[in-house]
């Protein structure tokens, strides 16, 4: 039987020293000695807020075959991934500083393991901040919690903007040009810390969403019947770079009461339906007023999440196209509200919402 060893990581940001220090302690129960290693991890993170002067702590415990400190430390040297966990309305992500390379530091399989809520850090996805291309400041890539790679992530790009501000020691209002699988996306950090994102234009052409549902004359799929397990749902299909299927209810049915849905049962049937060749995210929507909607989401590659930014944008587009809402809406998600505007002048969608640090950490790879 191998002995139990523990690694405790303390991540300190000091307002006076303006530095970020990682302490790693190795602890073996067979020995009363606490071995402490400290190393400097980043040059100059800003430290002007209460949060930044606080101490956060993460701990990982593992069984090692050989109870040798040298063996254990070798493993640490062989590779630790430092990360910051953020969330946008409970849609949570592991953010990785990948600015020194144009390939993600970890594989989709490793990402899926880290996202596991029992055996890993726990998250809906892993997001990488890579160097920009084609005149952009940065590139954002993301793996879903199942390891698949989507084109875009709305809540994720708000977290991304706050992560960049942290890495680059930026304060106050700032915007970035971010290259994504959905093209150019421009998040702007506002004075109050919320992030407003120019999400670009929605894509309505059925073959580009993509969906095999029969399109209208203008090639869009708006309020068409989709048979899911013998029930016909009226759906509208919108891509925000990633595919979304939006429904306000079944054919001839009442206005949806989204709290009553058995999401875990019905969600995967939409996600993997044959009419969605790239699978789909699905939003179930309840209309309160013409400017106030409520949605629950089943995400492609991540399942039920507390929020979906691209989903909220797609919902407002669908609601406008179906004549149910105006172009400026509050969308309530399980994790909280987002402000969505689909601007008539330029056809762009703007999403405004929060992004918060959860904790700093490192894990052995
Ligand atoms: N939660 C995200 C969307 C993440 C990607 C999605 N699961 C997909 O596969 O398209 C958001 O906030 O937009």
Which tens digit of pLDDT belongs to each residue from 253-285? 989 999 999 999 999 999 999 999 999 999 999
Is residue 173, in this structure, part of any structural domain at all?
A: no
How many whole angstroms from 150 Cα to the centroid of ligand 1? 7
- Among the candidates 65, 80, 95, a domain finishes at 80
Residue 134, CA distances (Å) to 178, 186, 201, 362 in order: 10, 14, 19, 32
361 lines ligand 1 (CB under 6 A): no
Which range marks the domain in which residue 52 is found? 1-80
Report the nearest-CA residue for atom 4 of ligand 1.
153
- Among the candidates 51, 80, 109, a domain finishes at 80
pLDDT at res. 72? 45
Q: Which residues of the chain have pLDDT under 50?
A: 1-67, 69, 72-77
334 lines ligand 1 (CB under 6 A): no
pLDDT at res. 365? 84
Please state, for a pLDDT cut of 90, what percent of the chain lies above it.
77
Q: Which residues contact 185 (CB under 8 A, 6 or more apart)?
A: 140, 152, 157, 178, 197, 198, 199, 200
The whole model's pTM is what?
0.82
Please state, for a pLDDT cut of 70, what percent of the chain lies above it.
79
27 lines ligand 1 (CB under 6 A): no
> What is the rounded CA–CA span in Å between residue 163 and residue 180?
16
Q: Select from 153, 237, 351 the residue to mutate for testing ligand 1; criterion: most ligand atoms less than 8 Å from CB.
A: 153
Catalytic residues: 153, 308
Is residue 18, in this structure, part of any structural domain at all?
A: yes
Is residue 339, in this structure, part of any structural domain at all?
A: yes
How many whole angstroms from 9 Cα to the centroid of ligand 1? 30
pLDDT at res. 78? 61
Is residue 102, in this structure, part of any structural domain at all?
A: no
Tell whether the torsion through CA atoms of 272, 125, 104 and 199 is positive or negative.
positive
91 lines ligand 1 (CB under 6 A): yes
Give how many domains the chain has, as a whole number: 2
Q: Which atom of ligand 1 is nearest to the CA of 155?
A: 12
How many whole angstroms from 90 Cα to the centroid of ligand 1? 13
Report the nearest-CA residue for atom 2 of ligand 1.
153
How many whole angstroms from 303 Cα to the centroid of ligand 1? 10
- Among the candidates 80, 98, 125, a domain finishes at 80
Averaged pLDDT of the chain? 85
């Amino acid at each position: 039987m191998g002995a139990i060893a523990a690694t405790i990581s303390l991540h300190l940001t000091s307002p006076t020293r303006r530095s970020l220090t990682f302490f790693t302690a190795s602890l073996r129960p067979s020995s009363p000695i606490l071995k402490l290693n400290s190393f400097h991890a980043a040059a100059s993170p800003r430290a002007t807020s209460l949060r930044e002067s606080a101490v956060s702590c993460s701990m990982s415990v593992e069984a090692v075959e050989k109870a040798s400190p040298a063996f254990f430390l070798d493993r640490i040297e062989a590779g630790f991934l430092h990360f910051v966990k953020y969330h946008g309305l409970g849609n949570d992500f592991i953010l990785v500083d990948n600015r020194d390379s144009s390939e993600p530091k970890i594989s989709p399989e490793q990402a899926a393991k880290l996202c596991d809520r029992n055996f890993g850090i726990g998250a809906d996805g892993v997001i990488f901040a890579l160097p920009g291309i084609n005149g952009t400041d940065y590139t954002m890539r993301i793996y879903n919690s199942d390891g698949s790679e989507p084109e875009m992530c709305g809540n994720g790009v708000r977290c991304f903007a706050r992560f960049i501000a942290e890495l680059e020691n930026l304060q106050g209002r700032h915007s970035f040009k971010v290259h994504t699988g959905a093209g150019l996306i421009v998040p702007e950090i506002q004075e109050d810390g919320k992030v407003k994102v120019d999400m670009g234009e929605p894509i309505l052409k059925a073959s580009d969403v993509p969906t095999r549902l029969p399109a209208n004359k203008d090639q869009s799929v708006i309020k068409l019947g989709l048979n899911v397990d013998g029930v016909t749902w009226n759906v509208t299909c919108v891509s925000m770079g990633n595919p979304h299927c939006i429904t306000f209810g079944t054919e001839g049915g009442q206005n949806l009461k989204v709290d009553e849905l058995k999401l875990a049962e019905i969600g995967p049937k939409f996600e993997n339906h044959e009419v969605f060749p790239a699978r789909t995210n699905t939003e179930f929507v309840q209309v309160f007023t013409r400017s106030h909607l409520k949605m629950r989401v089943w995400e492609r590659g991540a399942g039920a999440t507390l929020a979906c930014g691209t989903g909220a944008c797609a919902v407002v587009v669908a609601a406008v196209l179906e004549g149910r809402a105006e172009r400026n809406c509050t969308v309530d998600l399980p994790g909280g509200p987002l402000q969505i505007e689909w601007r008539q002048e330029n056809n762009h969608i703007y999403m405004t919402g929060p992004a918060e640090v959860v904790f700093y950490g490192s894990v052995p790879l």
